[in-house]
């Protein structure tokens, strides 16, 4: 069962990574848009450090996801395990799959407006259709679910810390992005906020 979980985990990791990189390549090749602007360019210090925080925590999350999928027994020996319930571990696989699916849908819906980080150098459109009818931060909801799913698949102190740090980092970035979008889209974005939750239910 553990081997199956690890195989599924690696498949989901590959799907996430390939889809993310493919989106960046398509944006650049077809539209000459640099999609990853996280902690790049001239930005206010608060935005820069928030994006740097996100960049660091998500990199650690991705590295941990890949590593623990390949070397679960070694990681458990090294840092311990909070619980060992195969049913919960496979629920974690499902949560990661759901998060990955939401993330991919968000990238598709955003089209050429997709950015990783706050982009003050190019004009984008406010996307309110597709999955963004239900959450104005759909991609981040997908991320949060993948953070949670990693902990459920591999419940140990390392993945718990990674989960908490990434949830905090993403929320701080969302607050920065909201200020940016208000300044760019004004009343249109405020009305969108009034009609659409920040996450899912609130």
pLDDT tens, 119-153? 888 878 999 999 999 999 999 999 999 999 999 99
Query: Tokens at residue 169, please?
Result: 């980092």
Closest Cα to residue 116, out of 62, 197, 69?
A: 62
Relative orientation angle of helices 138-153 and 2-31, to the nearest 10 degrees:
160
**Residues near 104 by beta carbon (within 8 Å), at least 6 away in sequence:** 15, 19, 142
Task: Write out the two tokens for 157.
Answer: 């102190």
pTM for this entry: 0.95
CB 75 within 8 A of CB 155: no
Which CATH class name applies to 2-195? mainly alpha
Dist CA 24 CA 17 (whole Å): 11
Cβ contact 143:170 at 8 Å: yes
Tell the burial category of 172 from Cβ atoms under 10 Å away from its Cβ (0-12, 13-18, 19+).
Answer: middle
For 47-101, what is each residue's pLDDT tens digit? 999 999 999 999 999 999 999 999 999 999 999 999 999 999 999 999 999 999 9
């Amino acid at each position: 069962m553990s081997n199956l979980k690890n195989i599924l985990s690696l498949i989901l990791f590959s799907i996430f990574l390939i889809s993310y990189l493919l989106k960046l390549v398509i944006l650049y090749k077809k539209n000459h848009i640099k999609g990853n602007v996280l902690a790049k360019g001239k930005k206010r210090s608060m935005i820069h450090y928030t994006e740097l925080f996100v960049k660091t925590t998500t990199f650690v999350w991705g590295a941990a996801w890949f590593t623990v999928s390949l070397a679960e027994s070694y990681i458990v020996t090294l840092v311990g395990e909070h619980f060992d319930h195969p049913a919960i571990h496979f629920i974690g696989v499902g949560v990661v799959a759901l998060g990955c699916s939401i993330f991919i849908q968000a990238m598709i819906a955003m089209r050429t407006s997709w950015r990783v980080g706050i982009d003050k150098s190019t004009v984008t459109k406010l996307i309110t259709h597709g999955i963004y009818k239900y959450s104005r931060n759909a991609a981040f909801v997908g991320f949060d679910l993948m953070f949670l799913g990693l902990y459920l698949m591999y419940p140990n102190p390392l993945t718990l810390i990674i989960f908490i740090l990434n949830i905090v980092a993403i929320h701080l970035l969302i607050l920065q992005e909201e200020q940016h979008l208000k300044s760019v889209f004004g009343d249109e974005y405020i009305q969108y906020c009034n009609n659409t939750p920040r996450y899912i239910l609130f």
